[in-house]
Amino acid sequence: MAVDLSVSWLGVNMENPLYNASGVMCRSREELDAVAASAAGAVVTKSCTLSPREGNPEPRYARAPHGSINSMGLPNAGYEYYLDYAKNYDHASGKPLFVSVSGMTLEENLTMLKAFRDADLPCLVELNLSCPNLPGKAQIGYDFAASSHVLSEVVKVYDKPFGVKLPPYFDPVHFAEMASVLNSFPSLKYVTCINSVGNGLVIDIDSESVVIKPKAGLGGLGGDYVLPTALANVREFSRLLDGKHVIGCGGIKSGREAFMHILAGATAVQVGTCLYEEGAGCFARIRDELAAIMEEKGYRTLADFRGKLLTM
């Protein structure tokens, strides 16, 4: 039986549902080109700020027993770099391109969004409401009134479909509150769940030390640590959002986790820690593993099982 892994949504046509999580292998043109040349179904840029940022001091990423911990601090080349990349990208024959925007202030976000709007490029913008690794800067996604205000200002200047990247939520009341905010904005067409689980602490027992430098060792967790939380967020937002797509991100290292995310309701899925550790070759492996699972189960398309998670 031939398995069809393609995904079509918001005018985007992907050969398969896999792409990189913003923040991993997407800071430079060379990294973005490597993802584009891989088996990934799409490409997303590093979350950009108004001006270039070096990010937090090293070491700021470390392997952990069940995944990773990082406190990168939004290192990026500045929005004009990624705008130029998008202008020169082969949109006609290349893979779909997403641009992630993460201003340090609302004004910065509006300035960048206006620039991408005026460029009128065929790429989708993802507004990051959830970076947990900026010392002294709260995650806007945990303040529902502030999130509503930001989005109200965004839609005044950005009239194209866009998405947001969300932090992980842990309480049904918070799922419902954030969904209510998001449902108020028709042009907000998708959400990415989740960013890393913020402010974890990994300790090296041999050195009796933390393993990353920023924030005295506190950082965002990824990998196996976050899979159940990511799946919960994907499932809940898939149920609560009206006519919006959910992109799953968190703990995907094989076809099994990709299948779980889609079963929970994800339209497509992003790979982070696994991509960082394995490189762009992970996309072909995960793609083939997902296809094998679907074939074994008798599913021909992703729609055959998307969002059809059984409950007891």
Is 102 annotated in a binding site? The answer is no
Is 207 annotated in a binding site? The answer is no
Is 76 annotated in a binding site? The answer is no
Q: In sequence order, what DSSP letters do the residues of 9-78 get, joined into one string? A: ETTEEESSSEEEPTTSS-SSHHHHHHHHHTT-SBEEPPPB-SS-B--SPSP-EEEETTEEEE-----B--
Can you count the helices (H) and strands (E) in the chain?
Answer: 9, 16
Is 41 annotated in a binding site? The answer is no
Q: Is 131 a catalytic residue?
A: yes
Are the beta carbons of 97 and 249 closer than 8 angstroms? no
Is 290 annotated in a binding site? The answer is no
Give SS3 for 247.
strand
Is 141 annotated in a binding site? The answer is no
Is 6 annotated in a binding site? The answer is no
Catalytic-role residue among 26, 48, 123, 131: 131
Are the beta carbons of 13 and 61 closer than 8 angstroms? no
Indicate if the alpha-carbon torsion angle 252, 226, 142, 107 is positive or negative. Answer: negative
Is 272 annotated in a binding site? The answer is yes
Is 218 annotated in a binding site? The answer is no
Is 265 annotated in a binding site? The answer is no
Is 147 annotated in a binding site? The answer is no
Whole-angstrom distance, CA of residue 128 vs CA of residue 112: 12
Residue type at 292 in one-letter notation: A
Whole-angstrom distance, CA of residue 182 vs CA of residue 176: 10
Tell me which H or E stretch contains 3.
Answer: none
Alpha-carbon distances, residue 275 vs 31, 82, 185, 297 (angstroms): 12, 21, 32, 26
Is 183 annotated in a binding site? The answer is no
Is 192 annotated in a binding site? The answer is no
Is 105 annotated in a binding site? The answer is no
CB atoms inside a 10 Å sphere around CB 146: 16
Is 46 annotated in a binding site? The answer is yes
Whole-angstrom distance, CA of residue 47 vs CA of residue 272: 14
Is 250 annotated in a binding site? The answer is yes
Give SS3 for 127.
strand
The set of catalytic residues is 131
- Binding site listing for substrate: 46, 70-74, 128, 195-196
- Binding site listing for FMN: 22, 46-47, 128, 165, 194, 223, 250-251, 272-273
- Binding site listing: 22, 46-47, 70-74, 128, 165, 194-196, 223, 250-251, 272-273
